[in-house]
Amino acid sequence: MNEHDKTRPASSAQLAVFGGEPRFEEVKHVGRPNIGDREAFLARMRGVLDSMWLTNDGPLVREFEARIADTLGVRNCITMCNGTVALEIAIRALGLQGEVIVPAFTFVATAHALQWQEITPVFCDVDPTTHVIDPGRIERHITPRTTGILGVHIWGFPCDTAALEVIAERNDLRLLFDAAHAFGCLHRGTPIGNFGDAAVLSFHATKFLNAFEGGAVVTNDDALAERIKLMRNFGFVDFDQVTYLGTNGKMAEPAAAMGLTNLDALDEFVEHNRQVFDRYRRVLEGLPGVRLVEPASLNGWNYQYVVLDVNAEAAGLTRDELVAVLWAENVRARRYFYPGVHRMEPYRSVYPHSHLLLPETERLVRRTMVLPTGTSVSVEDADVIGGILAQALDGAGEVRRALERREVHT
Question: Which residues are at the interface with ligand T4K (CB under 6 A)?
Answer: 29-33, 82-84, 106-107, 109-110, 152, 178, 180-181, 202, 204-206, 215, 332
The Cα-based distances of 226 to 66, 87, 195, 232, 300 in angstroms read 15, 16, 18, 10, 30
We find the least distance from the C-beta atom of residue 336 to ligand T4K, in angstroms, to be 6
User: Residue 14 CB, nearest distance to ligand T4K (Å)?
Assistant: 26
Q: How far is the CB of 110 from ligand T4K (least distance, A)?
A: 5
Q: In terms of CB distance, is 29 or 274 closer to ligand T4K? A: 29
Q: What are phi and psi of 288, to 5 degrees?
A: -70, 130
Residues 6+ apart with CB under 8 A from 379: 275, 276, 279
Nearer to ligand T4K, 12 or 373 (CB): 373
User: CB of residue 154 vs ligand T4K: minimum separation in angstroms?
Assistant: 6
Alpha-carbon distance 175 to 102, whole Å?
11
Give the residue with the Cβ less far from ligand T4K, 58 or 215.
Answer: 215
31 vs 395, which CB is nearer to ligand T4K? 31
Q: How far is the CB of 252 from ligand T4K (least distance, A)?
A: 14
Return the residue nearest ligand T4K (CB atom): 83
Task: Please confirm whether the linkage preceding 337 is cis (ω < 30° from 0).
Answer: yes
Inter-CA distances, 65 with 58, 61, 78, 379, Å: 11, 6, 6, 33
Q: Are 315 and 344 in contact (CB under 8 A)?
A: no
Min CB(352)–ligand T4K separation in Å: 24
What is the Cα–Cα distance from 401 to 407, expressed in whole angstroms?
10
How far is residue 234's CA from residue 306's CA, in Å, rounded to a whole number?
39
45 — phi, psi (to 5°)? -65, -35
Distance separating alpha carbons of residues 111 and 121, to the nearest angstrom: 6
Q: What is the DSSP string of 271-303?
A: HHHHHHHHHHHHHHTT-TTEEEE--S--TT---
- Residue (126 or 180) nearer to ligand T4K, CB: 180
What minimum distance in Å lies between the beta carbon of 25 and ligand T4K?
Answer: 16
